[in-house]
Amino acid sequence: MSLSLVLATAALLAAEPTPLPPGHPTTPAGSPVAPGTPLPSGHPTVDANKLPPSAEELMKQLDSSEGLREREKTFEIASSLGKLYYTNGRNTEALAYLGQAQAKADGVRSLFLASRKKLGKAPIATPEAANCGFTPGQALDAMEAVAQSRAKSGDTAGAAACARAALVPAMDVDVLRGNALYLGGDSANALKAYARVLEVEPRHEEALYAHSSLLFETKGEDLQALKSAREGFDALVTANPESPRAAMARELSVRIDETVKAGGRRKWLASRAADRKVRLSQSTAQAAALPPDAPRPLSPEMVDAVKNTERTPELEAGLTKLVEEGEEHLARGRYQEALANYTRVVPFQPENGRAKAGMAWALVGLGRPMGARVWSVALQSDAGAVEKLGDTLLAKGDAKGAKALWEKLAQDVPNYPNKAALQAKLSQ
């Protein structure tokens, strides 16, 4: 949990009048207290070792705060609450607060679009070049006031530059809104949320990737939409060639090009099916020519067979046992054996966070080139399962391995929601 989220939550909770405990001494508002100053007589004791509240505890407090959703909020508080709920999988609440934050940014957004229209094709200056005077963490309404002042004075270029800089956190809000809408099944409005970002910043990496991916996913028969998706992926690669998303963007651009040439997704899939039949006949002929004891090649149909295997209780129990054995191998440093177990599980249970975490850690332990990629996927899909793997290693006696895993998790996910608890484990 980041400090900004904690502060925003604390600010909202403090906004609700709460009586002090009986006998609590009053303190003049705004009176500074020097570090190390003894507490006044009668002041309740403070536990210096008490950890800050977890995300779950914060949300319980917020849920119990009557009228919180309707209460007037600043952009910063509304967006922080939206991020808190989004990060913890509560998209309905996230959308409510992110929508409130978006509304707070609509004024400066309109100012930017109007100012840019007046400028025509002239480039937008940086906030430094425009001398906006913004400081890190400055409130959006304060930055908007600067941009509005520039506009009133006739400084259109300065108004555009300052308004564009003020909109940086607002664009993050729109991306999160798009993500939450998509996860809730509202792809049409998710596309609109990403498009809002691209209207302000056409090269915004996350919005480009999300917008193009969603167009490709939902507009498979709309050739013009597919072309727009390809243009978005190409723009991402041009603007961010070193981005972790660039390789996938290139691959998807090629796939979209093939889909457009085929006349749409259905025709593209039909052509792939025809190609698969040709490859199957070729592989069958090749297999017939092999010696009786030679290994047979794995065909696409065999892969499909794995996916379509009936999920019986016996199969599920066997997969669970393989995962447990894999964790035992990891705790003993037997990474190759662990990887062998997990590769038997993941094809049947691709969404099993526990198995993906174990596979990722096995690959990291082996130093495989794919280790970093699989580790990244495991963190993105279920970082909590990665943390729990550390608990399992510790319980099995691998304290060194558990600490190494937690340290890598803390390093690679600096905004990890359960960061306080993770740091507590590392400090033990």
- Judgement on whether residues 5 and 125 belong to the same structural domain of the protein: yes
Residue 37 lies in a domain: no
- Angle (CA) 11-17-18 rounded to 5° is 100
Cβ-contact 296, 287 below 8 angstroms: yes
Verify that 211 and 173 share a domain, yes or no.
no
Over residues 230-239, the pLDDT tens digits come to 999 999 999 9
Tell me: do 124 and 228 sit in the same domain: no
For residue 325, what are the domain limits? 313-427
> What are the start-end ranges of the H helices in 201-264?
205-218, 223-239, 246-262
How many residues are present in the chain? Answer: 428
> Do 8 and 111 lie in a common domain?
yes
Residues 151 and 84 in one domain: yes
Q: How confident is the model at residue 295 (pLDDT cuts 50, 70, 90)?
A: very low
The total domain count for the chain is 3
Residue 389 near residue 354 (C-beta atoms within 8 A): yes
- In this structure, the answer to whether residues 381 and 268 fall within a common structural domain is no
Domain CATH number, residue 369 = 1.25.40.10
- Is residue 83 domain-shared with residue 7, that is, in the same domain? yes
Residue 193: inside a domain, yes or no? no
The string of pLDDT tens digits covering residues 86-127 is: 888 888 999 999 999 999 999 999 999 999 999 998 999 999
Residue 197 falls inside a structural domain: no
Q: With b meaning 16 or more CB within 10 Å and e meaning fewer, what string describes 312-325? A: eeeeeeebeebbee
Q: Looking at the structure, do residues 147 and 1 belong to the same domain, yes or no?
A: yes
Distance CA(300)–CA(302), nearest Å, equals: 5
* Cβ-contact 198, 207 below 8 angstroms: yes
Query: Do the domain assignments include residue 38?
Result: no
Q: Is residue 133 situated within a structural domain?
A: yes
Residues 349, 411: one domain? yes
Examine the fold and report which residue of 153, 186, 219 is the final residue of a domain before the chain moves on.
186
| Residues 91 and 138 occupy one common structural domain | yes
Buried b (16+ CB within 10 A) or exposed e, 115-148: bbeeeeeeebbebeebebebeeeeebeebbebbb
User: Final residue of a domain: which of 137, 156, 186?
Assistant: 186
CA–CA distances in Å: residue 60 to residues 13, 74, 194: 11, 21, 30
Contact status, residue 193 vs residue 175, Cβ threshold 8 Å: yes
Residue 343 within any structural domain of the chain? yes
Residue 361 lies in a domain: yes
Cβ atoms within 10 Å, residue 32? 5
Domain shared by 266 and 381, yes or no: no
Q: Is residue 51 part of a domain?
A: no
Q: Which of 186, 216, 241 is the last residue of a domain?
A: 186
Q: What is the pTM of this model?
A: 0.57
- pLDDT for residue 20 is more than 60: no
Summarised one tens digit per residue, pLDDT across range 250-292 is 999 999 999 999 999 888 888 877 766 655 565 555 555 544 4
Residues 85 and 158 occupy one common structural domain? yes
